[in-house]
Amino acid sequence: MNWRWVRVGAVALVVVAMLGIPRASYAQSQSAEADSAAIRQVVAQFIDAFNRHDAQGWAAPFLKDGDFTNIFGLTVHGRKGIEAHFVKLFAGSLKDAHRTATVRHIRFIKPDVAAVDAEWELVGSKAPNGSVNPVRKGMFTWVMVKQDGRWRFAVFYEFELKSRK
């Protein structure tokens, strides 16, 4: 059993239980369409910051007290901590990396809370021994919150998908 997925499922259930039942009418409204477009724009800017190796830009869409969990289970709390973590990565193993991401699903739990899934691909990252990793692919799962008119990451999970051979 993959305990990471069990953990993600448990977190998702807790978030939904805490936030209540979503409003079905919101998902079909023009407001939801505008918010979906705004979320996609945040993701595009976020990925652009990654590709510029801009740690401040990468961390900017997080809530001040947001959480980031990477593919190894390392969790960093808070926008400032996330930025500091990526300063190191962009100077090291991600120095020459390039990432793409495609939003696959947005579900509005409430008008100001969304669960978002995106597929990602990473090229040019370095292994601990300095060699270039093969192309890596995975998923992002985010809980995003609309705060002061802007969509931000409250909870961020990154998963790597292993290829089947």
- The tens digit of pLDDT for each residue in 59-92 reads 999 999 999 999 999 999 999 999 999 999 999 9
Distance, CA of 103 to CA of 119 (rounded, Å)? 7
What would the CATH number be for the domain defined by 30-160? 3.10.450.50
Please give the pLDDT value at position 11. 52
Sheet of 136-147: strand order equals: 75-77, 62-69, 150-160, 136-147, 113-123, 98-110
User: pLDDT at residue 44 above 90?
Assistant: yes
| pTM for the model | 0.80
Average pLDDT, the chain: 88
Residues 107-119 have pLDDT tens digits of 999 999 999 999 9
* DSSP H or E stretch at residue 96: none
Distance, CA of 79 to CA of 68 (rounded, Å)? 9
Sign of the dihedral through C-alpha 28, 14, 3, 58:
positive
Distance, CA of 62 to CA of 34 (rounded, Å)? 20
